[in-house]
């Protein structure tokens, strides 16, 4: 990936020990994130895509240490976050924020919009009360909300307006990096476009870096510079946006892209339908995790775990074979 790597994740694991299914039985382990390495360049957007349950949101939360990793490294602007405690971690969190998926449940219904946006400034004790109020006014203008809406409560706003409040709250502390956890999936299509355009404008204006989590490939194609595809806790393919959408290599990526409606004037590829459900992260298949649903699976796939390797310049894939039909 190009540019200065603001965030680097190396071999990250997030495992959960579950209750024993029976007395004296072994405690099963849910491997939500199971050895992910990636980086996000400063001022760029990395898209993280995959089906529900693949570990995208857990990875995003663990990067912010809202969920504690069980292994691996998280380096933000040269600082290893897993080594930080208490005040040191609080200082770094001023530079790292999150926009949650659901604008209906992520806002406190008992607070006014102005209080919600000001809350990070209050927690971090930034500036005087007058300076905080001035900052809230700036943020309302920045995200396209009117000053007279500051005293309204969340239920008095539309879904798109609520997400603008969430964006304003995330920007309050002037962060460098924002995790966008499916920020438009709960919105109507027309409103989605408005919020995506707002995020793009803010990124250019404020030099923001995004980790953009989504299951919607059309949204990812619109906003992201690089894309990493996750399946069952691991990354199976990553590349820049143009390379991934023009020449998807991994069978799973090609199946996801085949479900995206074709743009006007472009040729629609044949729909690839995956058989069966994604396996449980408690009982992960041996070998390639995708082999239970892959039409190209062979005996090697059932026995040997494929490594994520660079098959073409800047294009990484975890597959034993070249099934893409391209070169590499």
pLDDT, tens digit (0-9, with 9 covering 90-100), for 255-303? 999 877 665 444 456 778 787 788 999 999 999 999 999 999 999 999 9
Query: Is 327 within the bounds of a domain?
Result: no
Give the pLDDT confidence score for residue 273 in this predicted structure: 77
Sheet arrangement for strand 71-76: 29-41, 5-17, 71-76, 79-80
Cα Rg for the chain, rounded, in angstroms? 21
Inside any domain, residue 230: yes
* Residue 277, domain member (yes or no): yes
Structure confidence at residue 4 as a pLDDT band (50, 70, 90): low
Domains of the chain: total: 2
Q: Confirm whether 323 is domain-assigned.
A: no
Looking at 145, 174, 203, the residue that finishes a domain is: 174
Residue 326 lies in a domain: no
Mark whether 148 and 269 lie in a shared domain.
no
Question: What are the pLDDT digits (tens) for 106-164?
Answer: 999 999 999 999 999 999 989 999 999 999 999 999 999 999 999 999 999 999 999 99
- 91 and 216 inside one domain: yes
Identify the domain containing residue 114 by its residue range. 104-174
3-state secondary structure at position 212: strand
What is the pLDDT at residue 264? 46
Angstrom distance (rounded) from CA 9 to CA 35: 10
- Same domain, yes or no: 163 and 275: no
Q: Are residues 128 and 72 both part of a single domain? A: no
Residue 310 inside a domain? The answer is yes
Q: Which string of DSSP letters, residue by residue, matches 145-184? A: --GGGTT--GGGS-HHHHHHHHHHHHHTT--SEEEEESTT
Domain membership flag for residue 328: no
Q: Verify that 168 and 186 share a domain, yes or no.
A: no
């Amino acid at each position: 990936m190009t540019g200065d790597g603001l965030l680097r994740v190396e071999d990250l694991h997030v495992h959960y020990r579950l209750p024993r299914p029976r007395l004296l039985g072994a405690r099963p382990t849910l491997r939500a994130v199971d050895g992910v390495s990636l980086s996000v360049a400063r001022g760029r957007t990395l898209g993280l895509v995959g089906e529900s349950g693949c570990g995208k949101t857990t990875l995003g939360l663990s990067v912010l240490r809202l969920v504690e990793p069980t292994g691996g490294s998280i380096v933000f602007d040269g600082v290893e976050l897993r080594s930080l405690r208490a005040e040191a971690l609080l200082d770094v969190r001023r530079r790292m924020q999150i926009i949650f998926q659901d604008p209906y449940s992520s806002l406190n219904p008992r607070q006014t919009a102005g209080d919600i946006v000001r809350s990070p400034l209050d927690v971090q004790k930034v500036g005087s009360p007058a300076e905080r109020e001035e900052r809230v006014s700036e943020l309302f203008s920045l995200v396209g909300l009117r000053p007279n809406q500051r005293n309204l409560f969340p239920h008095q706003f539309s879904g798109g307006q609520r997400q603008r409040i969430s964006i304003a709250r995330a920007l309050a502390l002037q962060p460098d990096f924002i995790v966008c956890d499916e920020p438009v999936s709960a919105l109507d299509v027309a409103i989605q476009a408005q919020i995506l355009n707002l995020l793009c404008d803010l990124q250019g204006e404020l030099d923001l870096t995004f980790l953009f989590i989504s299951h919607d490939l059309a949204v990812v194609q619109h906003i992201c510079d690089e894309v990493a595809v996750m399946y069952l806790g691991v990354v199976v393919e990553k590349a820049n946006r143009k390379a991934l959408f023009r020449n998807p290599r991994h069978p799973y990526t090609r199946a996801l892209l085949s479900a995206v409606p074709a743009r006007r004037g472009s040729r629609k590829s044949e729909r690839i339908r995956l058989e069966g459900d994604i396996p449980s992260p408690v009982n992960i298949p041996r070998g390639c995790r995708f082999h239970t649903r892959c039409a190209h699976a062979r005996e090697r796939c059932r026995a040997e775990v494929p490594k994520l390797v660079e098959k073409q310049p800047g294009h990484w894939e975890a597959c034993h074979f070249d099934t893409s039909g391209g070169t590499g």
